[in-house]
Every structure is written in structure tokens, then in C-alpha cells.
Amino acid sequence: MLINKAYKFRIYPNKKQEILIAKTIGCSRFVFNHFLALWNDTYKETGKGLTYPSCSAKLTQLKKKQDTIWL
């Protein structure tokens, strides 16, 4: 018999940690939405999606751009 367990934790971050968490989640959201749009465009054009290595290489280039240096 398989038994699943779950634990819930409540965190109480200070102001500095709250800011860091918000920035991290904001960056993650931006990257996800960027690559989702890129994947959809590529799929519409070619009928195939993007691979992990191609996305990883594009993310490295995205981090080097002046517009997205904050990543």
C-alpha cells in the first residue's frame, strides 16, 4: 500500500528576504513567459517546439543583453 505524506511550512521572511523572494519570482515569471511565447512562435512556424539545449543557450544570450541584464 502506497502512503503519501505532505508537510506544510509557514515562513516569516524579513523585509530584505521578501524583496529577494519577489525579485526571484518575478525573474522566473519573465523567463517562463518569454520562452512560452518563443516556443509557441517556433511551433507555429515549424511544427516543432524548442529543445532544452536551445532554450538554455538562448537564456545565456538573454542574460547578456542590456535590456535584461537584471536577470
Domain ranges of the chain: 15-64
pLDDT at 69: 87
- The per-residue pLDDT of the chain, averaged, comes to 94
pLDDT at 18: 96
Mean pLDDT, residues 28-57 taken together? 94
Q: Which of 29-33, 38-42, 67-71 has the lowest mean pLDDT?
A: 67-71
Q: Are the CB atoms for 15 and 7 separated by under 8 Å?
A: no
What does pTM read for this prediction? 0.77
Q: How confident is residue 70, by pLDDT bands cut at 50, 70 and 90?
A: confident
Give me the helices (H) in the chain, please. Answer: 15-46, 52-64
